[in-house]
Amino acid sequence: PSAKVQRIDEVINDPQIQARGMILEQEHPKFGKLRLPNLPFRFSDCDTNAPMQKVAPDMGQHNVEVAQKLGYSNEQILAMQSDGVLFSK
């Protein structure tokens, strides 16, 4: 068996892909509306069609919070930032 290989626009607009909810749309604060792949499988006891609750974080968005949870003091965090060791947004 063989089949034609679809272009990405054909895949996104394919009726079967749409019927299975395999492409979801999400609003991103920086990039606007994004089309993202959804999970390709279903579980009987989970709603895999539920939209993602959060967008991907910006680079360094949570670095300070993580450093604090790891026990670094504010002074240590500031020193790491000024030394270029810790990037934060």
Q: pLDDT tens for residues 4-18?
A: 899 999 999 999 998
> pLDDT confidence of 46, banded at 50, 70, 90?
low
Q: At 11, which amino acid appears? A: V
Q: Considering the entire predicted model, what is its pTM?
A: 0.53
* pLDDT tens digits along 70-88: 999 999 999 999 999 999 8
The sign of the CA dihedral 49, 54, 59, 62 is: negative
Instruction: State the Cα–Cα distance between residues 17 and 40, nearest whole angstrom.
Output: 10
Identify which has the larger pLDDT, 42 or 4.
Answer: 4
Residue whose pair of structure tokens reads 């089309």 in the numeric block: 35
In the predicted structure, residue 41 carries a pLDDT above the cut 90: no
% of the chain surpassing 70 pLDDT? 90
